[in-house]
Structure 1
């Protein structure tokens, strides 16, 4: 009888945990898809590409790309059950080098959610600009 009661309590607590997660953070539970795009926004740098190398926190290496002026690198992702989805990119341009989270579920699940589930980055000489609609850009951080 004690075993059945213990199993019942464990099942109830598990169900409450799932309900709690689905109410507070449904995007973590259901695997919402997002699109990430990194754009070379430099001007007059045709001879020197922006080099980008990205990988996911789950160990997926997406390899490197050399982006000429106006080129972009984009991918789609789905958030995982644990809410730990993360994509880290290393950017290199001339002597400048910067590592940044191109997507971090804790930071981006809300700001990229509406209306298109899009996280876009415009990389320029003075820093990294973020947009979720590619119309309104806001500088998030500088190279240094």
Structure 2
């Protein structure tokens, strides 16, 4: 019988535990996120949307009534993912963080522009927050 080396066994167990922890952490950090901005202003009113992160400019989009602009992404390893947007229409505008990993833990983050306000919905929980338009 070959003698069992405790230090090698301990090192192997530690390595397995670290790999399991990293795998679990990776699945949390790599959770796919989805942001949607919806124009529900009124028929005939266009919503201009410009969103970006530090690394990605998603461009300017003109949303007709009842259309949306969507994008998906994964959080970065540092937990600092941030997408910010400027939106405007005939009677208002708003600058806001569409997704901030340090503040929001939504998987489906929905922003709906209506004539009275901008509404943020965390799809998973149904929690809604209202933001007034800047005139």
> TM-score w.r.t. structure 2 length?
0.73
The residue aligned with 1:51 is 48
Cα deviation for residue 137 of structure 1 reads: 6.3
| Count of matched residue pairs | 116
Cα deviation for residue 53 of structure 1 reads: 0.5
Q: Is the Cα contact below 8 Å between 2:121 and 2:129 reproduced in 1?
A: no
RMSD of Structure 2 on Structure 1 (CA): 2.8
Change (3 A) 1:134 1:72: farther
Task: Specify the structure having the higher radius of gyration (Cα).
Answer: 2
Report the Cα distance in structure 2 between the residues aligned to 1:103 and 1:118, rounded to whole angstroms.
Answer: 10
Q: Is the Cα contact below 8 Å between 2:32 and 2:75 reproduced in 1?
A: yes
Unaligned runs of 5+ in 2: 1-17
The residue aligned with 2:6 is none
Report the Cα distance in structure 2 between the residues aligned to 1:86 and 1:39, rounded to whole angstroms.
Answer: 19
- Considering fraction of residues, name the structure with more helix: 1
Change (3 A) 1:125 1:104: same
> TM-score w.r.t. structure 1 length?
0.68
The residue aligned with 1:33 is 32
Are 1:140 and 2:130 an aligned pair? yes
Change (3 A) 1:108 1:133: same
Unaligned runs of 5+ in 1: 1-15
Cα deviation for residue 27 of structure 1 reads: 3.0
